[in-house]
Amino acid sequence: MNGINDTLAKRNVAVLVAAQAFLGSQITMIFVIGGLAGQQLSPIACLATLPISLIVFGSMTTAPWLSGVMQRFGRRTGFLIGAIGGLIGAGIAAYALTIESFWVFLLGSYFTGIYMSSQGFFRFAATDTASEAFKPKAISYVMAGGLISALIGPQLAGYLSDGPDASVMRFFSSYMAAIVLNIIGMSLFFLLNIPKPAPPAPTDAQGRTRLELLTSPRIAVAVICGMVSYALMNLVMTSTPLAVVGCGFGVADAGNVVTAHVIAMFAPSFFTGHLIARFGVERIMGLGLLILGAAGAVALQGVELGNFFVALILLGLGWNFGFIGATTMLTQSHTAEERGRMQGMNDLLVFGGVTFASLASGGLMNCSGGNPVEGWAAVNIAMIPFLVLAGAALIWLVMRPKPANMPGE
């Protein structure tokens, strides 16, 4: 594509940045309060983070069919479905708090996952009208929209939920705020101008099968690194509010730590695309994995508030490099006709790993030690084998011969 086409791409990126900022605030807000509300509603302490897991599970199970909807009816339709899901989910969760039902609360979490799934496709939509040169930057800019959601979401959660009221109803206002965010955010999608993909003709190339895609080296490594980066970030972040509050700090402190974390997740996006273009996607992905390891090391040094801040900032930075790098590698490794098939399958696998991580997070935090300090240590130690797996896969990709002209090679 030429520079004229990138004018349209930049307009679409601006819309997606705004959607990431405003609609994305509900996810950062709910990730602060979801585990805390679950802890009060759950009949079993080990299930405290199950509401967060249901959000991610909802995202995982929605991704394949939502990708198909976007392939057939366009990005706007898929994004509107996601926002409607977020609105319904927040409403159900708010109702669940009034009747103190853990199981109804989980249902609301699942619907919230439909929104989270649609948000995951923002980064892919940014590349639909972009030139090859602009694609890494487009992904980075859209991810940078999360910087505003980092400022809005956790601070709203702290402001609306912190106070003398210790009942579960202290979280009600946050879910009402999520309803408002979804209503406001839906209007943004009518400003998108991404042409619907033309329906394939019988003579058109069909692209590779799912198995062929997943066994392509670059695609396989991109999926593995994307899964590990996102899953480990979620593993630690899900337990963070429980650990912060369990170690004697307040909900507002937990919100501030999560704010710092989400800022670190998205602020580097302003230059991550430039770094990928200059140094190569493999180096940036590798750096992300190293920083994730450093986050775990800092967390294991102690449970002072400063340790939480530094560890979660490093966690966010490592996720940014690892996940944006993996997304960039993936978009460079499949053809246009393979897009809907591959992107939906990628998010199914990525959020499958994240679902497992969020489920494990509550169990490790609440049931693997006698106190929050031991639980927090278990969460961070659990990162090690997965970092080794992703690092080994990336090293293998870099060292193997580069023969073929296939996109996945």
Tell me which amino acid residue 217 is: P
**What is d(CA 90, CA 117) in angstroms, rounded to the nearest whole number?**
15
Sign of the CA dihedral running 140, 143, 148, 150:
negative
- Distance CA(68)–CA(52), nearest Å, equals 25
Alpha carbons 38 and 362: distance in angstroms, whole number: 10
Name the token pair of 110: 């699942």
Rounded CA separation 318/28 (Å): 18
Helix axes 102-120, 75-99, angle to 10 degrees: 160
User: What structural domains and CATH numbers belong to the chain?
Assistant: 3-194+210-399 (1.20.1250.20)
Contact by Cβ (8 Å): 222, 326 = yes
Look at residues 382, 303, 358, 352 and name the one whose alpha carbon lies nearest to residue 46.
Answer: 358
CA 109, CA 387: separation in Å to the nearest integer?
A: 29
pTM of the model: 0.75
Structure tokens at 319: 């996720």
pLDDT of residue 1: 41
Q: What is the pLDDT of residue 5?
A: 61
Q: Which of 264, 365, 266 is nearest to 310 (CA)?
A: 264
Q: Residue 374: CB partners within 8 Å, gap ≥ 6?
A: 368
State pLDDT tens for residues 294-314: 999 999 999 999 999 999 999
Task: Extract the residue ranges of the chain whose pLDDT is less than 50.
Answer: 1-4, 406
Structure tokens at 65: 């069919």
Amino acid occupying residue 351: F
Helix axes 217-246, 281-299, angle to 10 degrees: 20
Residue pointed to by tokens 């994307």: 226
